[in-house]
Amino acid sequence: MRILFLFAISLSLFQDYTQGQVPAGCDGVRNTEPLLYLTPQPLKTVQNGQSWLIQQDTNVIYLAKVKGTPYQMGYALGQLYGKEIAKNIKNLANYGYFMFKDKLNVLDYLTEWQSWLIFHFVIEPLVLFSLDVDYLVTWIYTPERYAEEMRGIVAGSGGKISYRHLQRFNLFAELSRAHCTILGAWGDATADGKLYHLRTLDWNPTAKVNEFPAIIIYEPSEAGSQQFANIGYLGLIGSLTAMSRIGISVGEKVMYRKDGIDYNPTPEWTYFGKPWLYVLRDTIQFATNLQDVENMLLSTQRTAMIHLGFASVPDNTFRGVDYSSTDLIFYDDSNYTRYSSTYHPQYDGIFYYDRHVQPSGSTCIKSILDSAHGSITPETLYRDVTGYHASGDASVVVMDPAGGQLWLSYSLYGAELHAYKRSPIYMNLNQFWDL
């Protein structure tokens, strides 16, 4: 009896998880891999750019800084990383074959040789055709600077990269979908009152674009541009994740409609518009505050159904966004329309979307925030949220947009090891902004 009583007390006292215990509703474990402080090793210097390798064993990031017009920046990228970009494009094509063969179990029905023939003569041409059609229906909405940058990359690579392949590679995300987590924490929610932005990418961890994780720092000469870091993979010139020097950052996750949820208007997906990777990059390259971001997104011909997170140092706040071709809704830390006291309460200084379809019934992030609210640090984000919530299959990026700092990891190339289980790498961008 007494023991039961003590047990009940201790349960109520320790409802907050402590290290080692998995927070209620979570199915992952805390990421305890050591944080890596690595010195970028200079690789190459060309007229409008410079490259560095950040590496320890299999933890690797390809870094570059490029300057000038879109063509000049592209040319520099082609000179610096032409070979790697060509390989990355090839990797994505091979990944297509792997998905076809292994995920669809075609070897149960066909021989390896037959499946190779079908892939190369039927499936691959269909995918390439879809990407080419996507190009046709998006190009009038796509700013010329993207084509110029790609022409530059092709020319700078000295023949290693085909323009068409590069263009297809950059539209691939327009036709694919990834679950992810978005979390912004600021003000009263964080230990030091600073603004932090977590973006995980839950794309297949074995998707073979991860041989060349990249941070490209752009210093465009185009009027109205900010310096910014594009955080993704070599060859991808649109943005999955990006942060500008003045402290605006972005990340996204796919949005699906959920049965039983009221939408007004109903969000829709279209292929006719400006590819979302380019939309995101343009907000980071040109916006000087959240009002700019809002105006830009409103006036864009939008295609995809995605959720976005924007941190803004000029506004010292964060917004979640429901983005679709038919609607655009911004949320702060008090007016999300899908709150639930059981799985997604309101917290001052927090906005998040977890890795599931929204609104999600998972209580994992709630359990973490119930105990961490008020004392959130970058470590809470890259160790607890990503580890316990098992989010960040392909990459994890924690951004400090005011301080120009990043903590990031990528899945391991050629093996199945999720980014959220790997050592985070610390990066301070301040040493590169001024170069």
Cβ neighbours for 257, distance < 8 A, ≥ 6 positions apart = 263, 266, 267, 305
Nearer CB in complex with ligand NAG: 33/332: 332
Q: Nearest approach, Cβ of 224 to ligand NAG (angstroms)?
A: 23
* CA angle centred on 142, ends 136 and 146, rounded to 5°: 110
Task: Please state the φ and ψ torsions of residue 64, each to the nearest 5 degrees.
Answer: -150, 155
Cβ neighbours for 368, distance < 8 A, ≥ 6 positions apart = 17, 23, 26, 380, 384, 385, 388, 389
The H or E element spanning position 397 is strand 395-400
Q: What is the DSSP string of 189-200?
A: GBTTS--EEEEE
Nearer CB in complex with ligand NAG: 305/427: 305
* Contact set with ligand NAG (CB under 6 A): 329-332, 335, 337
Nearer CB in complex with ligand NAG: 292/332: 332
Q: Nearest approach, Cβ of 330 to ligand NAG (angstroms)?
A: 4
Q: Nearest approach, Cβ of 377 to ligand NAG (angstroms)?
A: 25
Q: Nearest approach, Cβ of 334 to ligand NAG (angstroms)?
A: 7
Q: Nearest approach, Cβ of 317 to ligand NAG (angstroms)?
A: 8
**Mapping DSSP to helix (H, G, I), strand (E, B) and coil, where does residue 61 land?**
strand
Nearer CB in complex with ligand NAG: 234/290: 290
What's the maximum distance between 2 C-alpha atoms anywhere in the chain? 80
Q: Nearest approach, Cβ of 295 to ligand NAG (angstroms)?
A: 12
Q: What is the DSSP letter of 172?
A: G
Nearer CB in complex with ligand NAG: 246/328: 328
**How long a stretch of residues is the chain?**
435
Q: Nearest approach, Cβ of 337 to ligand NAG (angstroms)?
A: 6
**Mapping DSSP to helix (H, G, I), strand (E, B) and coil, where does residue 29 land?**
coil
Cβ neighbours for 228, distance < 8 A, ≥ 6 positions apart = 217, 218, 242, 243, 244, 245, 284, 285
How far apart are the C-alpha atoms of 435 and 423, rounded to whole Å? 28
Nearer CB in complex with ligand NAG: 290/368: 290
* Alpha-helix residue ranges (DSSP H) falling in 299-433: 364-372, 378-379, 386-388, 430-433
Nearer CB in complex with ligand NAG: 73/293: 293
Q: Nearest approach, Cβ of 331 to ligand NAG (angstroms)?
A: 5
Where b means 16+ CB within 10 Å and e means fewer, 67-93 reads bbbbbbbbbbbbbbbbebbbbbbebbb
Q: Nearest approach, Cβ of 187 to ligand NAG (angstroms)?
A: 13
* CA angle centred on 284, ends 193 and 428, rounded to 5°: 55
Tokens, residue 80: 């610096």
Nearer CB in complex with ligand NAG: 335/430: 335
Nearer CB in complex with ligand NAG: 57/262: 262
* Residue listed under structure tokens 């290290």: 19
